[in-house]
Amino acid sequence: MNATELLAKIRLNGAIPRHVAIIMDGNGRWARERSLPRPLGHRSGMKAVREVVEGAIECGLDVLSLFAFSQENWQRPRGEIDALMMLLEEFIARETAELSAQHVRVKMLGDLTRLTPGAARAAAELMAGTASNDRLTLNLFISYGSRAEIVRAARMLAAEVRDGMRQVDEIDEEALASHLYTTGCPDPDLLIRTSGEQRISNFLLWQAAYTELYLSPALWPDFTRRDLYEAILAFQNRERRFGRVPV
């Protein structure tokens, strides 16, 4: 079944997820299988980002979240990190006009203070330039780790209690969620991981408590909107109980 047929089937099924998150994995393996430098794998992965954004728009998602660079990735060789920062700047320069034309709002979530000055400046300009768009929200997680995000939220809540702005017994799930990077964003309905790996790698640990998981064997540079549609179709065929029993 081709992408057009899959999209038609998705629309017939109804229940399209509001928010799909993707752990984009496999760039390095894709390059290694072709005896290419790792940065070329990351560059090829940029094409998959555009493909998936276009697919998300076509099937009517509200939010698409992409895990681009983790806090742990800062431990990689300096040359690879520099290449990734340059690719981020290149992606922003190349895609900003198209994202704006498609009415995509871009948010970059994570510890952005660690970005290189050029990447940080480009990220800020992209977010400001697309802030009024409302067709699709694209969350790009850069320099992100979920445990660090939760610790950051806990510290913010502790500071509010210390400063008399909040009582301890007022701290609940809603309060903590409001201090996460994703505040105001619905939790993901579907989390896709590419490359066949079977772990969530410190991504959206709080937000994905009841998220449906889908493991794709495709390496990220090979991931297409057809793969996205297959994942959404699988989601549509599942029964989401949220801890309840079926009625």
How high is the pLDDT of residue 205?
Answer: 98
The percent of residues in the chain predicted with pLDDT above 90, rounded, is 88
Q: Is the pLDDT of residue 38 over 60?
A: yes
The residue annotated as part of the active site, out of 25, 139, 189, 227, is 25
Contact 110, 181 (CB under 8 A): yes
What distance in Å separates the CA atoms of residue 16 and residue 62, rounded to the nearest whole number? 10
pLDDT at residue number 14: 80
For residue range 198-245, list pLDDT tens digits in order.
Answer: 999 999 999 999 999 999 999 999 999 999 999 999 999 987 665 555
pLDDT tens-digit series, residues 86-145: 999 999 999 999 999 999 999 999 999 999 999 999 999 999 999 999 999 999 999 999
Q: Is the pLDDT of residue 32 over 70?
A: yes
pLDDT of residue 239: 73
pLDDT above 70 as % of the chain: 97
Distance CA 227, CA 52 (A): 9
| Options 2, 13, 27, 73, the catalytic residue | 73
Query: What confidence score (pLDDT) does residue 39 get?
Result: 86
pLDDT value of position 243:
56
- Looking at residue 70, its pLDDT comes to 93
Q: Check if 27 is active-site.
A: no
Q: Which of 246, 175, 235 is nearest to 211 (CA)?
A: 235
Angle between helices 3-13 and 225-236 (to 10 degrees): 30
Which pLDDT does position 246 carry in this prediction? 55
pTM for the model: 0.94
Q: Is the pLDDT of residue 26 over 80?
A: yes
Take residue 39 and report the two structure tokens written for it.
Answer: 């940065």
The CATH class for the domain spanning 18-235 reads alpha beta
183-210 average pLDDT score? 97
Contact status, residue 108 vs residue 96, Cβ threshold 8 Å = no
Average pLDDT score over the chain: 94
Instruction: Supply φ then ψ for residue 32, to 5 degrees.
Output: -65, -40
25 is catalytic: yes
> What pLDDT sits at residue 247?
52
